[in-house]
Amino acid sequence: QGGVTDDKNEEKSMSALNLGVNTPTVSCIFDYGTRYHLRCYLYQARDLIAMDKDSFSDPYAIVSFLHQSQATVTMKSTLNPTWDQTLIFHEVEIFSDSNITTNNPPNIVVELYDHDTYGADEFMGRCICRPCLEPSPRLAWYPVRRGNRNAGELLAAFELIPREKRTVHRIPGLKV
């Protein structure tokens, strides 16, 4: 059963210690979750926005899925990078009925940045992608947006794979 816990009986909550104010602590408890692996096949991007003075950029991608993120390598001096890279998110737990996840999987956010040697990296744009639960998904072009304008395209595929259930090995004489 899902539930909410209240810490009002504690003398000082962690939120009061950290923020100097009393804010409620809310916890969610889930009965079950399903584990998946996510494979992100990032092949290339095209027509990205030039962010450097030399009319090029040094783009890399950050892929975010639920609470995890990974980055590609940085490609130097190009607006049409070819990463040909696979990022794998292992053991991602999704707290939902597996039928709901199959029909409506969580979105993947891919953000593109221009690497700068001096100063902060510059945001180039983002795209929202949907993972496929079928094996061997096809590469597709995803529009990259920066605010409300086009900022290029990303050629990628995303595969969400249900993790096999582990076999439970019973050890004779061991009580679990």
At residue 61, does pLDDT exceed 50?
yes
Question: Please, which residues have CB within 8 angstroms of residue 20's CB and are 6 or more apart in sequence?
Answer: none
Question: What pTM, to 2 d.p., does this model score?
Answer: 0.75
User: What tokens does 2 get?
Assistant: 């899902």
* pLDDT tens profile 63-76: 999 999 999 999 99
At residue 176, does pLDDT exceed 70?
no
**Domains detected in the chain:** 1-31 (no CATH), 34-162 (2.60.40.150)
Can you tell me which residue has the tokens 């999987």?
A: 105
* pLDDT tens profile 102-141: 899 999 999 999 998 888 999 999 999 999 998 889 999 9
Q: Residue 141: what pLDDT?
A: 98
Query: Under the phi-then-psi rule, with left for phi > 0, alpha for psi from -120 to 50, and beta for the rest, what region is 152?
Result: left
Query: Under the phi-then-psi rule, with left for phi > 0, alpha for psi from -120 to 50, and beta for the rest, what region is 84?
Result: left
Q: How far apart are CA 42 and CA 112, in angstroms?
A: 12
Please compute Rg for the chain using Cα positions: 21
